[in-house]
Amino acid sequence: MWELAGHSLDIARLRGASYADVRVMHLRQRDLTTKNGEVGTLAQSESIGLGVRVLANGAWGFASSDQLFREGVAACAARAVAIAKASALAKRGDVVLVPEQAYVDSWQAPCRKDPFEIPLETQLALLLAADGEMRRVKGVTLTETDMQFRKIDSWFASSIGSRIHQRKFISGCGVAATSFQGQEIQKRSYPNSFGGQHSLEGYELIESLELLKNAPVIAEEASALHSAAQSPEKTGTLILGGSQLGLQIHESVGHPIELDRVLGEEANFAGTSFLTLDQLNKLRYASDIVNVVADARLEHGPGLGSFAYDDEGVPAQRTDIIKDGLFRGYLSNRETAHLIGLNRSSGTMRTESWNRLPIIRMTNISLLPGSWALADLIADTDDGILMDTNRSWSIDDRRYQFQFSTEIGWEIKGGKKARMLKNPSYSGITTEFWNSCDAICSRDHWTLWGTPNCGKGQPMQTMGTGHGASPARFRNIRIGAAFSKQ
């Protein structure tokens, strides 16, 4: 791989590139799903190729190819340079990159059990057994399970001398039970909705989830939700479970801090951002107890945003995003870092595949834990609602006004978890919401949730992001109910 990568860099230089980097990537994927006790998807794929990014005449060009032989990669590199020269015909100014060192390294994310070495029959049997556990529960009308595995090898080389190999395993799994009754649909998912939990781990993740134990629990809840009370509509106290808070972070912190959106260079899928450059180090984003970081280092956990180097050859870092409630940082790259006064990229350039241009991406955007035990937090809440597991979301294209609904709610009365509530939702304005946070649970309740399906860019790229969160309490929140009968 290094020989091909080096050859493409040589060709790019010969053709006039002032900078070039290349990623050779080999991706393997396995997907399994079941529905109502029958096998749904059962697919395996692999893809290998190379992408060359160059600067020529002060502008970017990118070309990719799966022709992994000398003539093929040479043609690809030459095409990237030709594209860059064409881009230069419509540029505002020359692209300026902040400095970065060259690195020669090989890194592998921890993986105790290679999921591709576990027999398919074993994986499918587990899903079918979990599916069966849910179907045994009266009132459940649709059961779904899924399992996904990815193995990614990437070889990064750049004209400044970096040669970085990284290997990652990504595993994910989840189950869901849906109950139809009359005009109403209720659903419960474990351990999270929209595909479950995903992380930078091997098959050990699947084994840790205890699917067979938890599947009947959520099935019972899905059925019981039909006879639960409707969530009230009021302004009050809200406690969010960790997985829902993870998505809240993703949508109302993660997307608006992507510097390409801030600068108006990206608007696909999530729009632009309310976080204009003048607000850095000035905006009271949240209450004093709120600390949010972008942390791609493995020390933060095996998140979908964990790596050793980003796809621009910049080492993984931890960046303060919100520090003691104050807005402190964006997600930047080598091209944009200097625009916010930094002399180094925050290391957030990521690509979905060899045939996609690296773009600024969330890494692990996490709310740091507080000090509360969940039981104490509930005991300290006289009147409120605990909401858990996302059901739907909506946020405007500057990431400022939002509405979320969750699969389940629990009434908190007199410091005790009381009756189940159905169709809960809440809405708010990003900064008002985060400034209303008055309690965050401790590390004992903290989970690094994986969001495997974040879409961005054109051509669209799907990327996994991580969001660490523990349950937290918010005051004076507008609470509502989906499907309410006015």
Partner 1 sequence: MSAKNTPENSAALSSARELRRVIESVLHLAKKTHAEDTEVHVEEVDDSLTRFANNAIHQNVAERGVTISVRTIADGRTARATTNRLDEDSLRGAIDASLALAGSQPKDPHLLPVPGGQPLC
Binding residue (CB under 8 A) for partner 1 from 186, 252, 355, 431: 355
Find the shortest distance in angstroms from Cβ 425 to partner 1: 34
Rule CB under 8 A: say whether 69 interacts with partner 1: yes
Q: Which 8-state DSSP code applies to residue 45?
A: E
Interaction with partner 1 in 357-386: which residues (CB under 8 A)?
A: 357
Rule CB under 8 A: say whether 47 interacts with partner 1: yes
Interaction with partner 1 in 298-317: which residues (CB under 8 A)?
A: none
SS3 of 471, please? coil
Rule CB under 8 A: say whether 44 interacts with partner 1: yes
Rule CB under 8 A: say whether 264 interacts with partner 1: yes
Tell me if 350 sits within 8 A of 258, measured CB to CB: no
β-bridge mates for residue 236, sequence order: 477
Decide whether 360 or 477 has the Cβ nearer to partner 1: 360
Decide whether 39 or 375 has the Cβ nearer to partner 1: 39
Binding residue (CB under 8 A) for partner 1 from 201, 258, 266, 310: 266
Find the shortest distance in angstroms from Cβ 68 to partner 1: 9
The Cα–Cα gap between 447 and 240 comes to 13
Using a 10 angstrom Cβ sphere, with 0-12 exposed, 13-18 middle and 19 or more buried, the burial of residue 40 is middle
Q: How would you classify residue 240: left for phi > 0, otherwise alpha for psi between -120 and 50, otherwise beta?
A: beta
Q: Under 8 Å CB-to-CB from 277, ≥6 apart: which residues?
A: 262, 339, 340
* Helix extents (H) in 113-210: 120-135, 204-208
Rule CB under 8 A: say whether 120 interacts with partner 1: yes
Structure-token match 């799994």, residue found: 173
The Cα–Cα gap between 295 and 199 comes to 15
Site stretch for partner 1 (CB under 8 A), options 107-115, 227-235, 261-269, 403-411: 261-269
Decide whether 98 or 185 has the Cβ nearer to partner 1: 98
Decide whether 89 or 343 has the Cβ nearer to partner 1: 89
The Cα–Cα gap between 159 and 58 comes to 15
Binding residue (CB under 8 A) for partner 1 from 2, 36, 39, 419: 39
Find the shortest distance in angstroms from Cβ 401 to partner 1: 24
The Cα–Cα gap between 104 and 164 comes to 5
Interaction with partner 1 in 10-29: which residues (CB under 8 A)?
A: 11, 15
Find the shortest distance in angstroms from Cβ 93 to partner 1: 8
Tell me if 454 sits within 8 A of 209, measured CB to CB: no
Rule CB under 8 A: say whether 72 interacts with partner 1: yes
Decide whether 102 or 125 has the Cβ nearer to partner 1: 125
Measured CA distances, 159 to 8, 54, 70, 279 (Å): 10, 9, 18, 36
The Cα–Cα gap between 476 and 433 comes to 9
Q: Mask of contacts with partner 1, 137-176, x by CB under 8 A?
A: ----------------------------------------
Handedness of CA 107, 112, 115, 118 (dihedral sign): positive
The Cα–Cα gap between 431 and 413 comes to 27
Binding residue (CB under 8 A) for partner 1 from 17, 24, 63, 440: 63
Site stretch for partner 1 (CB under 8 A), options 113-121, 184-192, 363-371, 390-398: 113-121
The packing angle between helices 70-87 and 2-14, to 10°, is 40
Site stretch for partner 1 (CB under 8 A), options 59-67, 337-345, 403-411, 435-443: 59-67
Rule CB under 8 A: say whether 463 interacts with partner 1: no
Q: Under 8 Å CB-to-CB from 460, ≥6 apart: which residues?
A: 268, 269
Site stretch for partner 1 (CB under 8 A), options 120-128, 155-163, 376-384, 421-429: 120-128
CA-closest candidate to residue 387, choices 174, 210, 244: 244
Q: Which 8-state DSSP code applies to residue 194?
A: T
Binding residue (CB under 8 A) for partner 1 from 66, 94, 233, 324: 66
CA-closest candidate to residue 255, choices 282, 219, 292, 307: 292
Binding residue (CB under 8 A) for partner 1 from 17, 22, 84, 262: 84
The tokens for 77 are: 């590199």
Rule CB under 8 A: say whether 281 interacts with partner 1: no
Site stretch for partner 1 (CB under 8 A), options 102-110, 206-214, 250-258, 349-357: 349-357
Binding residues for partner 1, rule: CB under 8 A, are: 11, 15, 38-39, 42-49, 59-67, 69, 71-72, 74-80, 82-84, 86-87, 89-92, 119-121, 124, 263-266, 355-357, 458-459
